[in-house]
Amino acid sequence: NQMIILSRQIKGEGRGHKVGFPTINLAVSPDLVLEDGIYAVWVVINDVTYKGALHYGPIPTFGQKDKTMEVHLLDVTDSNAPDTEGVEIEVDVVSLLRGVRTFSSAEELALQIDLDVKNVRLILK
């Protein structure tokens, strides 16, 4: 029972870039029903499919209570990043990796994201 989310990029805080995992911040539809957590997802942008790690929910490590949705594209760098401005972004939710947790530091969070990305690679073949 795969869930597909259609969204657009919105301005983020730029925190993902700082911890080494840049993300695309996505507009959250008010009728979205999704458990808070980190997911393995396929992301389709301009007819190109990427492997992604999706975060949905609050960001307690940074004291943020509002739910946000952002996706890190695997194997994408600044040089080959897709142009996402004004483009519909399709997120195909495949599997929940873990729940949202609070980390004691940005470094600890980055280590966990690294692990999450490894798990996404195992799930998305």
Contact yes or no for 37/96 (Cβ under 8 A): yes
Confidence at residue 20, expressed as pLDDT on a 0 to 100 scale = 86
- Give the chain's length: 125
Is the confidence at residue 45, as pLDDT, over 90?
yes
Closest CA to 70 of 119, 33, 16: 16
Question: Which pTM was predicted?
Answer: 0.92
First vs last Cα of the chain: how many Å apart? 18
Give 48-57 pLDDT, tens digit per residue.
Answer: 999 999 999 9
